[in-house]
Structure 1
Amino acid sequence: MKLLLLAGTGEAQAVARALAEKGIPAVASLAGATRAPKPTGLPTRIGGFGGDEGFARYLEAEGITAVVDATHPYAHRISIRTAKVCKEKSIPYVQILRRGWVPEAGDLWTEVACEEDVAALVPEGAVVFLATGRQTLDRFSNLGHAELICRQIDPPDRPFPFVNGRFLVGRPPFSVEEERELFQRLGVDWLVVKNAGGAAAMAKLVAARELGVRVAMIVRPPQPDALKVASVAEALAWVDGL
């Protein structure tokens, strides 16, 4: 058996460590969105595969016999492509899809279908904290009536694309106390976030609840029609059963 782990999340790190400890032949794959990613403990490739055909060729050339997809819930194009090619080639595939967040008492959430819909919610002059990453920043071009702050892991390699915004560099995880202090210092009125789920990234939502900050929650995109598990333990049990 040789397993391909599509990585980039905390779950992927945990799966990679377990595979290495078990001595299961595996390779991790990262899209390359972060300049200095954490080591996975497995042989790791970085970058795309070149579409469906390129991915199919890679699976065949490397002798991949199973795929664990532990990418971000919003990397849906990668997941859909991977599930499709694996089905065509009869390669076992499982997606680790963590459960999404649900609002609690005191939360001021408004669900939106996409980034472009946020502008209609935000009043003139509001301070908007974008916790959605730099890759989709261009989709907020219609938020010219607000002050934008976009947090990203890596120092910016180019100016902020809009005159009404700026970057803020920070590497997670962040505590609730850190997020609360940050939002207070910046005077944040709105938090924009993707429903990634998981405990690690939830601190900003707790801080927003405590401060009465409104949240624009971007709903999850469609996921592949394929086997899904919600935890690392379930994924590893699936691997053990191959």
Structure 2
Amino acid sequence: MILVLSGTKDGRDIVYKLRDKGFNILVTTATNYGKSLYKQEEGLRIISNRLDYDGMVKLIKENSIKLAIDATHPYADKVSDNISKACKEIDISYIRYQRRESSLSKYDYMIKWAKDYEEAAEMLARLEGNILLTTGSKTLDIFTSKLSPKRLYPRVLPTSDVLEKCEDLGFKPSNIIAMQGPFTKEMNKELIRKYDIRILVTKDSGKIGGTDEKLAAAEQMGIPVIIISRPEEKQGLIFNDVDKLINKVSEIYG
């Protein structure tokens, strides 16, 4: 059986292409929302659980996993670290799917790079104006530890647990942008205009993650962008082309 860690669109593409080739697949997602995007069917089992290292080792052993494909978000570095170490410990194959980085050279003049979320928050603390956070809900506490929630406008998934987290961190409903993407350039521009945004914060989530639309909107609205750099990739087989990854899996199982 093949284990696929995936809560992304490109991860789902990998899963269904593997299914079409007749492989038995176990998919893990970090959230119930991610799980809801799949359909349980013959040869395809979906579970939702945030697994630590020990949990991954147990899952691999109990399900006789022969190959693990890490198709998590480019910034899910802890998950990638855990699964790569678990595969090495058990001595099974590990493949990483990493979506391509965005082509951002034309926006160099308006981009400030931060090595991580903490550095981004420190940079923001030295600047003025409202901030549009498009980095998800997971790291919101890092920003609220250094900045007033009054300045922050996080764009997050409209789920009850995420909204509860925002409220617990001190965000008022008027500051929470609870919306499901994808977002067009015009939608990003409208949010910047509506909330009088002076700085946009994002990750380089690639074309599929809407980075291009965010940068284009910020450019037209005349505001700077802070981008959090991607974590360093772990060693192992790394692909940024889905079809090439599928061919490699077929080769391993051939």
Fold agreement, TM-score > 0.5: yes
Q: Is the contact between residue 66 and residue 91 of structure 1 (CA under 8 Å) also seen in structure 2?
A: yes
Pairing partner for 1:227 from 237, 242, 251? 237
Hey, what's the Cα distance between the residues in 2 that align with 1:227 and 1:104? 27
Q: Is the contact between residue 94 and residue 227 of structure 1 (CA under 8 Å) also seen in structure 2?
A: yes
Superposed counterparts of 1:149-160, under 5 Å: 149-155=153-159, 156-158=163-165, 159=167
Aligned residues: 240
Give the direction of change, closer, same or farther, for the CA distance of 1:119–1:62 in structure 2 (3 Å limit).
closer
SS at match of 1:134: coil
Aligned to 1:112: 114
Indicate whether 1:184 and 2:179 are aligned: no
Displacement of 1:157 in angstroms is 2.3
SS at match of 1:60: helix
Aligned to 2:83: 82
Identity in percent: 26
Q: Residue type of the partner of 1:162? A: G
CA displacement, residues 163-214 of structure 1 (integer Å, 9 cap, x when unaligned): 5882111111111121122212222111111122233412112211222221
Aligned to 2:71: 70
Hey, what's the Cα distance between the residues in 2 that align with 1:145 and 1:137? 10
Hey, what's the Cα distance between the residues in 2 that align with 1:36 and 1:64? 20
CA displacement, residues 82-124 of structure 1 (integer Å, 9 cap, x when unaligned): 1111122221110001122242324510001222323443456
Give the direction of change, closer, same or farther, for the CA distance of 1:216–1:33 in structure 2 (3 Å limit).
farther
Indicate whether 1:31 and 2:33 are aligned: no
Give the direction of change, closer, same or farther, for the CA distance of 1:120–1:25 in structure 2 (3 Å limit).
closer
Hey, what's the Cα distance between the residues in 1 that align with 2:94 and 2:64? 14
Displacement of 1:48 in angstroms is 2.6
Pairing partner for 2:132 from 98, 118, 129? 129
Q: More helix by proportion, 1 or 2?
A: 2
Give the direction of change, closer, same or farther, for the CA distance of 1:40–1:212 in structure 2 (3 Å limit).
farther
Aligned to 1:6: 5
Q: Is the contact between residue 218 and residue 224 of structure 2 (CA under 8 Å) also seen in structure 1?
A: yes
Hey, what's the Cα distance between the residues in 1 that align with 2:34 and 2:2? 24
Q: Is the contact between residue 29 and residue 48 of structure 2 (CA under 8 Å) also seen in structure 1?
A: yes
Aligned to 2:169: 161
Displacement of 1:145 in angstroms is 8.6
Q: Is the contact between residue 4 and residue 66 of structure 1 (CA under 8 Å) also seen in structure 2?
A: yes
Q: Is the contact between residue 29 and residue 35 of structure 2 (CA under 8 Å) also seen in structure 1?
A: no
CA displacement, residues 127-171 of structure 1 (integer Å, 9 cap, x when unaligned): 100001111001012122961100111241241513588211111
Hey, what's the Cα distance between the residues in 1 that align with 2:82 and 2:149? 37
Give the direction of change, closer, same or farther, for the CA distance of 1:62–1:176 in structure 2 (3 Å limit).
same
Q: Is the contact between residue 96 and residue 235 of structure 1 (CA under 8 Å) also seen in structure 2?
A: yes
Hey, what's the Cα distance between the residues in 2 that align with 1:24 and 1:189? 49
Give the direction of change, closer, same or farther, for the CA distance of 1:48–1:59 in structure 2 (3 Å limit).
same
The two structures have a TM-score, normalised by structure 1, of 0.90
Unaligned residue ranges in structure 1 (runs of 5+): none
Hey, what's the Cα distance between the residues in 1 that align with 2:39 and 2:72? 13
Pairing partner for 1:47 from 30, 46, 49? 49
- Root-mean-square deviation (CA, aligned residues, Å) is 2.2
Indicate whether 1:214 and 2:224 are aligned: yes
The two structures have a TM-score, normalised by structure 2, of 0.86
Indicate whether 1:59 and 2:69 are aligned: no
Hey, what's the Cα distance between the residues in 2 that align with 1:12 and 1:83? 17
